[in-house]
Amino acid sequence: MQQLVCAEPGQFEYRTVPEPTLNAGESIVRIRKIGVCGTDIHAFDGTQPYFSYPRVLGHELAVEFVEGDAGFKAGEHLTVMPYISCGKCVACRKGKTNCCVNIKVLGVHTDGGMTEYLSLPSYTLLRAEGLEDDELGLVEPLAIGAHGVSRAAIQPGENVLIIGAGPIGLGTMAFAKIAGGHVIAADVNEQRLAFCRDELHIPYTLNARDTEFSDHIKDITRGDMPTVVIDATGNLAAINNAFQYLAHTGRYVLIGLQRGDILVNHPEFHKREATLMSSRNATVNDFEYVISCIRDRKLFPSSFITSRLKFSEVADRFSNTVSDPNNIKTMIQFHD
C-alpha cells in the first residue's frame, strides 16, 4: 500500500509499505479523508516542538472499518479519537484521557493517517451515523473547541471573547454560541472575521489590531468585560495581552499552545479573582457531543473546508495550499 512519509522538514515521500496486520485490541481501517491540522503544517515546516522524523502525519480522520474487535461492520464509516492513552495514570483514572501522562497522539508521536490502511486501538474508533466523510474528518478539531468550551462552563448570556479565528477558534465560537454565550470574535484577518459573521452568525467581530479594541469590548459588554476569554491563537503576545480583557470573576481558557512563559501581572489577576485554565485535546464525551451537534444540524462544519487535495497530490501541492493566509481547512481525500 501507499504511504506518505514526512521524511524530514519540508520533504514528503510516497513509500510502498506492507499492509498492517491485525493485533489484539486493534482494528484495521481504510482511510477515506484526512483534515490538515496546524500540527501537520508545523511538523512539515519543522517548527513543531519535540517532533521526530520520519513520521506519517494526519490525525483528523474519516475512516472505513475493515476488520477487528471494535464491533463495527465492515464498510462502516467512522471517526477517530486520535489519542492513545495509557488507562493507568492519574488523569486516565479520572477519565481525563485527553491529558494522559503517557499520551501518544496519532500522526504526532506515532504514525498517523496519511496511508491507505491503518491499525488502531479499537477504542479510538467512534460511530457517527448520519455524518458525511467531510464531517467525520472534522470531528476531532471541533472536539478541541468543544472541550475548551466545556472547560469554561459557559452559562447562557455570558459574554465570551474568543481570540483567533482559525479552524480551532471557529469551532470554539460555534460551541460557545450553542452553549448560549454572547460571543465576540477577534482576529487580525478580515476575511476570517467575515467568515465568523456570515457562516457562524457571530454578532460581534473585532479586528485585534483595532486601536480601540478594548473600548469596543467594553461597549459590547456594557462595561462588564467578558467573563470568559478563550485563546485559540497560540500566540504568546496575544495570550499575555488578553488578561486585561477579563471581567472580575472571569475564566481564561488557553486552547492554543506556544513554547514560552506566560507573563501575568499578579495584582491585576488577583483583583479579578480570575481563573486560568489550559484545555488539552478532548475526551470521548466531547467527541460524542460534537457528533450529536452536527447530526442535529446545530452547526455546519463543512463550510470550514476551503481547499481539497487528492492523496496523490499532497507531496507536490501541500505547501502552496496550506500557506494561503485565507485558507481555513484543507481536506485530503483518497477516493472520489
> What's 250's DSSP letter?
-
Specify the 3-state DSSP secondary structure of 105: strand
Q: Could you tell me the smallest distance in angstroms from the CB atom of residue 28 to Zn ion? A: 23
Asked if residue 88 lies in contact with residue 80, where contact means CB atoms within 8 angstroms, the answer is no
Residue 85 or 227 having the CB closest to Zn ion: 85
Residue 265 or 323 having the CB closest to Zn ion: 323
Residue 105 or 277 having the CB closest to Zn ion: 105
Q: Could you tell me the smallest distance in angstroms from the CB atom of residue 56 to Zn ion? A: 15
Residue 192 or 251 having the CB closest to Zn ion: 192
| Segment (H or E) for 109 | none
Q: Could you tell me the smallest distance in angstroms from the CB atom of residue 271 to Zn ion? A: 36
Residues 6+ apart with CB under 8 A from 25: 69, 121, 122
Binding site for Zn ion (CB under 5 A): 37, 39, 85-86, 89, 92, 100
Cell of 334: 483518497
Specify the 3-state DSSP secondary structure of 99: helix
φ, ψ (nearest 5 deg) of residue 196: -60, -45
Q: Could you tell me the smallest distance in angstroms from the CB atom of residue 46 to Zn ion? A: 18
Residue 60 or 158 having the CB closest to Zn ion: 60
Distance CA 62, CA 38 (A): 18
Q: Could you tell me the smallest distance in angstroms from the CB atom of residue 59 to Zn ion? A: 6
Q: Could you tell me the smallest distance in angstroms from the CB atom of residue 284 to Zn ion? A: 14
Angle between helices 133-152 and 284-295 (to 10 degrees): 120
Residue 92 or 118 having the CB closest to Zn ion: 92
Residue 82 preceded by cis peptide, ω within 30: no
Q: Could you tell me the smallest distance in angstroms from the CB atom of residue 164 to Zn ion? A: 14
> What's 87's DSSP letter?
S
Residue 88 or 310 having the CB closest to Zn ion: 88
Q: Could you tell me the smallest distance in angstroms from the CB atom of residue 213 to Zn ion? A: 28
In Å, how far are 26, 47, 250, 292, 320 from 225, measured between CA atoms? 49, 35, 9, 32, 40
Distance CA 84, CA 89 (A): 13
Cell of 202: 457571530
Residue 89 or 178 having the CB closest to Zn ion: 89
Side chain identity at residue 24, one-letter code:
A
- From 44, 35, 38, select the one nearest 13 (Cα to Cα): 44
In sequence order, what are the beta bridge partners of 2? 16
